Structure 1
Amino acid sequence: MLYPSSLPKEDPPPLRIAVCLNSYNSRFLPAVQASYSANKGDFPEPVLFDLIVLAGANVDARASWDFILKIHNFIRTVVAQYPDKKVVGICWGHQTISRVFGADIVNMDVPEMGVTSINLTEEGRKFFPHAAATGVLRLQQHHRREVTAAPAKFAPLAQGSQIFLNDNNTILTFQGHPEKDAQTARLRLQHDTPRWFGFDAAADEKAWARLEARIGTAHDGDAVWGRVVQWVREPSRGLYAPRAG
């Protein structure tokens, strides 16, 4: 006789993930959209997905354009009507979610580009056990603005406002790009380096080579996404669940 503990374990069903692409008027957008099943202009129906990812964008997260305010409203609607829904914010998504919950965004003194070492907090070491010993994550970065501090009801999992987790265990945000490999990180290299740092490959070969090397450095993107997949299957803490009756 086979007892329940000895029966083969079935694999969990595949996750249903919606990725919101927020780039505006970018020549790279068709290439990015081609990697997904894209519905232009539509917000995902939260009930149909296990995870909603609010991705990066090439606009200022402090702006109040109509499409940005619609995204703000979508975030608030998800939190209010689907309090247990898992949401991940990446780069612009990290900044936008932080803004919705009251945090400030400022220009950086020096923009970040390429793989950067991020120091985890104690909570971050617990959340990312593969990095508990070193206390460091390495992620691709590509941004010139940053969040000044974690918004209310969010805990910093890394120093420098790099990673936040809300106290309901449903919203996780990254300033960096765990989804980017070196090839993807190079897409905007030629466009952004001159206006961010004041040089290009022709003007300063050594500086360009250093930046190229930094982009090509090994990173923890795959491990981070593995942890995100685990986290999506974890329960919320029920802090905002509707009361019975």
Structure 2
Amino acid sequence: MRIGILQSGHFPEELVPETGTYPDMYATLLDGHGFTFQTWSVVDGVFPDGIDAADGWLVSGSRHGAYEDHDWIPPLEEFIRTAHAARKPMVGICFGHQIIAQALGGKVIKFPSGWSVGPTQYDFGGETVALNAWHQDQVVEVPEGARVLASTEFCANAALAYGDTILTIQPHPEFGKAALDGLLRTRGHLLTDELLDRARNALDTPTANRETGRKIGEFFLRAREV
């Protein structure tokens, strides 16, 4: 199965020697399922010829806001709507979670209560799952027909499902300790001192990255009626 990565942002260049790029991290996250990967850097205006260029799609994280005025955002939203209508399996992570919601009728804002950063406990229907967060934007209105799969007290709509073809999550299961530590070192100035200290002190918290990657892989491989 070929997974097409719609790269909506670039991981900080100075951290790539330590962590790899976003596509590198997603390939590691989804290792073991027999996938091949191809990346289109939509943030740079590079798009697939169509939704059939891959068997499934993954929309990446980004430093940009889904609501921002960039030339590449409207065609990305249209691609998402076309893929959804054709029942192509699609996964969104962080920005991907947000832009898919916005494209399908939801609302995304810069959350007035600030950032969620570092190891965070998410309630997946009574199961507590720890994953690394790095976001200020949030989905505050869920598209019609979407189901909320996970939440925290701070982030009500932390994971969404759209039928059996789209799965999106707000946290970053591709971020291990090195990625989070690098962001805290290079982007910590965006955070309050209290939040920065709390995230640094929690760096060694175990996260469910491997298990979440397995579930995402199984989601892509699930048999679906056309």
TM-aligned CA deviation for residue 46 of structure 1? 3.2
In the alignment, the residues of structure 2 paired with residue 223 and residue 99 of structure 1 have an alpha-carbon distance, to the nearest angstrom, of 27
Q: Quick one: structure 1 residues 90 and 191, their matched pair in 2 at CA, closer, same or farther if it must change by over 3 Å?
A: same
* 1:211 counterpart = 2:203: no
TM-aligned CA deviation for residue 79 of structure 1? 2.2
Q: Quick one: structure 1 residues 25 and 229, their matched pair in 2 at CA, closer, same or farther if it must change by over 3 Å?
A: closer
Q: Residues 210-237 of structure 1, C-alpha deviation per residue, up to 9 Å, x if partnerless?
A: 322323310111101101111212233x
As a proportion of its length, which structure holds more strand?
Answer: 2
Query: Alignment RMSD, CA only?
Result: 2.5
Q: Residues 29-78 of structure 1, C-alpha deviation per residue, up to 9 Å, x if partnerless?
A: 96516837655443245324232110100111111311111211211222
Q: Quick one: structure 1 residues 215 and 188, their matched pair in 2 at CA, closer, same or farther if it must change by over 3 Å?
A: same
In the alignment, the residues of structure 1 paired with residue 23 and residue 14 of structure 2 have an alpha-carbon distance, to the nearest angstrom, of 10
* 1:88 counterpart = 2:91: yes
* Contact 1:86–1:170 (CA under 8 A) maintained in structure 2: yes
Structure 2 segments unaligned to the other structure (5+ residues): 28-37
Q: How many residues align?
A: 202
One-letter code aligned to 1:115: P
TM-aligned CA deviation for residue 176 of structure 1? 0.5
Report the counterpart of residue 151 of structure 1 in structure 2.
143
* 1:101 counterpart = 2:104: yes
In the alignment, the residues of structure 1 paired with residue 174 and residue 55 of structure 2 have an alpha-carbon distance, to the nearest angstrom, of 18
Deviates more, 1:187-196 or 1:22-31: 22-31
Structure 1 segments unaligned to the other structure (5+ residues): 1-14, 122-133
* 1:179 counterpart = 2:174: yes
In the alignment, the residues of structure 1 paired with residue 121 and residue 137 of structure 2 have an alpha-carbon distance, to the nearest angstrom, of 17
Question: Which protein has the larger Cα radius of gyration, Structure 1 or Structure 2?
Answer: 1
TM-aligned CA deviation for residue 110 of structure 1? 2.9
Q: Quick one: structure 1 residues 24 and 183, their matched pair in 2 at CA, closer, same or farther if it must change by over 3 Å?
A: closer
Q: Secondary structure at the match of 1:57?
A: coil
In the alignment, the residues of structure 2 paired with residue 54 and residue 29 of structure 1 have an alpha-carbon distance, to the nearest angstrom, of 21
In the alignment, the residues of structure 2 paired with residue 24 and residue 211 of structure 1 have an alpha-carbon distance, to the nearest angstrom, of 22
Report the counterpart of residue 51 of structure 1 in structure 2.
56
Q: Residues 118-137 of structure 1, C-alpha deviation per residue, up to 9 Å, x if partnerless?
A: 0123xxxxxxxxxxxx6111
Q: Quick one: structure 1 residues 23 and 29, their matched pair in 2 at CA, closer, same or farther if it must change by over 3 Å?
A: farther
* Contact 2:150–2:158 (CA under 8 A) maintained in structure 1: yes
In the alignment, the residues of structure 2 paired with residue 182 and residue 25 of structure 1 have an alpha-carbon distance, to the nearest angstrom, of 15
Report the counterpart of residue 137 of structure 1 in structure 2.
129
Give the TM-score normalised by structure 2.
0.79
